Amino acid sequence: MTRSPVGRETGRVDGRPKVTGAAEYSGDHQAVDLAHAHLVTSTVARGTITRIDTTAALASPGVLRVYAAPESRLGLYPVTGPAASFAENYVPLRDAEVRFHGQAIALVVAETPEQARDAAARVTATYDTQPPRTSLADEPHVPAGPTISGAPSSLTILAPGVGSIDAALAASDVVVEAEFHQHMQHHVAMEPHAILAAWNGDRVTIHAGAQIPAAYALGTAQRLGVLPENLQLITEYVGGGFGARVVLWSDTPLAAAAAREIGRPVRLVLTREQMFALTGHRSQLTQNVRLGASRDGVLNAVSHQSVSERPTTLAFTMTPAHATTDALYRTPNLHVDAQLAVLDLPGSRAMRGPNEAPGAFALETAMDELAIATGVDPVELRLRNYATTSPSRGLPWSSKHLDECYHVGARRFGWSARSATPRSHVDGHWLIGTGMATAIYPAHRRPASVRVRLLDDDTAVISTGISDLGTGAATVVAVSGADALGIPLTRVTPEIGDTLLPQGAPAVGSSATHATVPAIVNAARDAINELKRVAVTDDGSPWLGADVEDLRYERGILHGQGRSMSFGRLLTAIDSPGITALAESPGAVDPGYVHHSFGAHFCEVRVNRFTGDTRVTRFTTVADVGRVINARAARSQLVGGVVFGIGHALLEENRVEPDTGRLANSTLADYLVPVNADVPDIDVHLLDRPDPVLTGPLGDGSEDVGTRSLGARGLGEIGTVGSAAAIGNAVYNATGIRVRDVPITLDKLIDRL
């Protein structure tokens, strides 16, 4: 008897090739006659290139070509239409304008990577330079416009008779006001951006990591001036995305255009340092949060304003109050607003809970300050302000068990043993403190197409053009395919990561799983219906002439009229190599509900009394993410999110040199991310309560195929939302010092300890 693998601990289907090194990432692919490219980048942030001297580079050993701005021989074009929001707004190497420090200004192609790199170092450029705009505070602010989900980023809701949010705050018994700053942060996926492009006539095959392969391929085709059907993008193994592989940067078009021009396959691998400027970042951000409450902590007014970057080439519209402050707590008076400042900085992009992680840091730190100001326990404060309808939209949630997250998390962590008084727990050199915070992340439905093939050896192939960023998407496809067909996981082969496959869900916004599973369910249902149809119509079938209603499919076997046969045996009997069904699931959600995942974080830190060094020593996260498909990968995603939170709270920042616009910390020696020594054992608990609305009607629990859409909801980013606030709140509890500018480095603590 086959037990469904849904919700169990499933090892990754691609685990073995990954750990044995057999998995080929984009930069690992080989090609005959391969040439190697290296980028040259600008050393000023704003101005015009007056001259690029390529003489020395061209004379270097092994060099085949040097393409330099304002070069146009590469045949690159603007990206227009729907793909334009997934690409930078200039054509690389086609004009003399410099828009940010680190922009590509030349591309060297040589016989070996070393020859290309060495020759690139010999390219020199001169510029007419203008002072770059680099400061959020100094440049004019413009309204951010709609959020990425189309909601207003500026919104004011006032109770009857209240004239303004300021008036509502002024009328509150207790007011907390806090301002937060953070510098740039970067995605720093482990795999560097790497491209292999190979042409065959007017067709090109590109290996590159992409989170939305279809949009990425469309944008690349436009850049290259080729028909989309002549471009195949393969993105089978990807070493992390985090938002940096959503849009088309200059690397892929340049590599592909160079390959076309020289008539040889070209590989381009960015250096780690180049990636900081060329593949996006999370914008610098200033936030102001004001909370007005009664003496017992019941919110009366909530205001959350922000200013972030709008780089001239490509901007992620950062709206940190959206899906955090506009969605979390009940309040009669609410104001959120997002502003942007136009700056001469590299393009920004969504990064790891793009709005929600920084937004929740501000809101959940301010809530901790309100807890202290009112003397209400932080968990109790959140329960007192618990919302059962969306504060900005007035609608109920598709499913919400956040209260259970607080209760279960508090119990697992041992929250009741805590002292609310700072510096009350000392162990030798260490001040010990605990803190908590809430997590919330929106659940968007996105369209997905899936093909199911039932084969004559009783196996099934489930195909969808999704990319697996390391999240476990391929395993989710296999697990939910095995469930939908009622067959063992070992008999399901997932096929992903290729634009020739049916268009998969975008691997963004914590939505890939709940977008893909319903399409798998639909395709499996259609495949089984097709199986029944051929069973009653094919000459070789024992059921020829029967009524499909007389056939029942269960666990890979057709039953009817007193006989049973596996689908493989039936297909063999009728001499069919297999049957195929293609199905989609829509991108829409039920508009009568709001849809979010939730979580609660509990954290213990130790802060060294003499050095200010902060260590996270315990962490518990409880998350409400709908039905869990793969318990092991889901937990791993949450752990990863908390690790991002440690980076956000304690380590990650890149500073902009104000006069030059140069990103100062653009190496992994200077831009610190958590390593194993920074990460304690993280206790993750998933409530596993299916969402009855987000992915359509739930089944009745029977094993009938096609009745269940499982009720999964996104979990990719929920772990990183609020986890930095829990750490900061624990640092306050340990030390009595409130640091509102992350990362909380020892220099911000040491003089005040």
* Catalytic center residues: 717
Minimal distance, residue 281 CB to ligand MOS, in Å: 12
The set of residues, in sequence order, having a beta carbon less than 8 Å from that of 262 and lying 6+ positions away, is 35, 64, 65, 109
Q: At what angle do helices 356-374 and 723-735 cross, to 10 degrees?
A: 30
Nearer to ligand MOS, 354 or 640 (CB): 354
Nearer to ligand MOS, 413 or 441 (CB): 441
Question: For residues 76 and 255, is the Cβ–Cβ distance under 8 A?
Answer: no
Nearer to ligand MOS, 324 or 333 (CB): 324
Distance CA 693, CA 111 (A): 56
- Integer Rg of the chain from CA: 27
Distance CA 485, CA 135 (A): 56
Measured in whole angstroms, the distance separating CA 579 from the mean position of its chain's CA atoms is 35
Nearer to ligand MOS, 7 or 506 (CB): 506
Pairing of strands 299-311, 333-343: parallel
Nearer to ligand MOS, 13 or 508 (CB): 508
DSSP 649: I
Distance CA 382, CA 361 (A): 15
The set of residues, in sequence order, having a beta carbon less than 8 Å from that of 672 and lying 6+ positions away, is 647, 651, 652
Minimal distance, residue 241 CB to ligand MOS, in Å: 5
Nearer to ligand MOS, 351 or 650 (CB): 351
Minimal distance, residue 272 CB to ligand MOS, in Å: 19
| Token pair in block for residue 663 | 């990103």
Nearer to ligand MOS, 311 or 690 (CB): 311
Residues that bind ligand MOS (CB under 6 A): 211, 241-243, 246, 350-352, 354, 508-509
Give the length of the chain: 753
**Three-state SS sequence of 444-484:** CCCCEEEEEEEECCCCEEEECCCCECCCCHHHHHHHHHHHH
Distance CA 594, CA 442 (A): 8
Question: For residues 122 and 108, is the Cβ–Cβ distance under 8 A?
Answer: no
Amino acid occupying residue 134: T
Nearer to ligand MOS, 356 or 368 (CB): 356
Minimal distance, residue 356 CB to ligand MOS, in Å: 9
Minimal distance, residue 337 CB to ligand MOS, in Å: 22
Minimal distance, residue 351 CB to ligand MOS, in Å: 5
Distance CA 112, CA 197 (A): 16
Terminal-to-terminal C-alpha distance of the chain: 62
Minimal distance, residue 599 CB to ligand MOS, in Å: 17
Question: For residues 56 and 121, is the Cβ–Cβ distance under 8 A?
Answer: no
Minimal distance, residue 641 CB to ligand MOS, in Å: 11
The set of residues, in sequence order, having a beta carbon less than 8 Å from that of 332 and lying 6+ positions away, is 157, 158, 159, 162, 168, 300, 301
Distance CA 126, CA 103 (A): 14
SS3 label, residue 41: strand
- H/E element holding 156? strand 155-157
Question: For residues 622 and 330, is the Cβ–Cβ distance under 8 A?
Answer: no
Minimal distance, residue 688 CB to ligand MOS, in Å: 23
Distance CA 390, CA 699 (A): 27
Minimal distance, residue 242 CB to ligand MOS, in Å: 6
Nearer to ligand MOS, 475 or 511 (CB): 511
Distance CA 142, CA 306 (A): 11
Closest CA to 438 of 619, 620, 599, 649: 599
Distance CA 49, CA 97 (A): 6
Q: Can you list the alpha helix ranges (DSSP code H) found in 680-741? A: 723-735
Nearer to ligand MOS, 212 or 574 (CB): 212
Which residue's Cβ has the minimum distance to ligand MOS?
243
Closest CA to 73 of 39, 106, 110, 43: 106
Distance CA 236, CA 244 (A): 17
The set of residues, in sequence order, having a beta carbon less than 8 Å from that of 83 and lying 6+ positions away, is 215, 218, 219, 222, 248
Nearer to ligand MOS, 433 or 506 (CB): 506
Minimal distance, residue 509 CB to ligand MOS, in Å: 4
